[in-house]
Structure 1
Amino acid sequence: MTTNIVEQMLVELMLDTSKFAAQADKAEKKNQALEKSLDKTEKASKQAGKANEELAKKYHSSIEQTAKFGQTIAKVTKELTGFFAVIIGSTGLFKLANDAAHANMEVSKLSGQLGMATASITDW
């Protein structure tokens, strides 16, 4: 029975080779189309890889710039803190000197009103 099937296959292939040739041509065309598609996909993949690398470089650059900006802000903040400390310190010293002068004037005025020496008033 198996020889019968094999003989039948051989007869069909020998008698009708036009079907085989047409199917082979279709398969070859499909294969060529698939190869072209794979080439396009490979090119697109390479372009996407390059774009990804460029994006990573830009991201890294922006992180570095942000870090430098943060360091600059920290330096400026430190300088401003020092500047305001000097202003506050000098304002405090000015107020201290002004209050001492005002106190001396009050003691001098009181000594004139009481008829006492300023030394004895400050000793009180």
Structure 2
Amino acid sequence: MALLAWTRQADHFFLSGLDKAGNTSNPLGSSVTPVTVAQIPGLNTLGIALARLDYAPWGLIPLHFHPRATSTFISKVLQKGDVFVFPVGLIHFQQNSSQNPGIITVANAVLGSKPSIADDILSKAFQVDKSVIDYL
């Protein structure tokens, strides 16, 4: 019988490079640099992940969620150097330099799916009038 052991090493809890800005020259004007167990093995079983977000002026991280979700709306304006922790699965978006994000394109998986999801199902799921779904 083979005995498997995981030896903890300093490198399992370390990542460098988050001081380097991500490339924001894309249609969204944003870049996400994830820091998960894939980058820091020592995070395994801790339930912790983070990301560096870089924005061009008016850059956007569109509406999205992470699996094992809850659905609570939380709003917070961040200043330079601030950190915000998203609860597991919180549906969220981020946008640079605006308190009014304007019209946000919801993920193609919902509003652009093929075959399409019926408007009455979407209006129930988002708890809005069907006319709002038609508008989107």
Instruction: State the TM bucket, normalised to the shorter chain.
Output: under 0.3
Greater strand content: 2
The alignment's TM-score, normalised by the length of structure 2, stands at: 0.17
TM-score (norm 1): 0.18
Compare CA radii of gyration and give the structure with the larger one. 1
Say which structure, 1 or 2, has more relative contact order (CA 8 Å, 6+ apart).
2
Identify, as 1 or 2, the structure richer in helix: 1
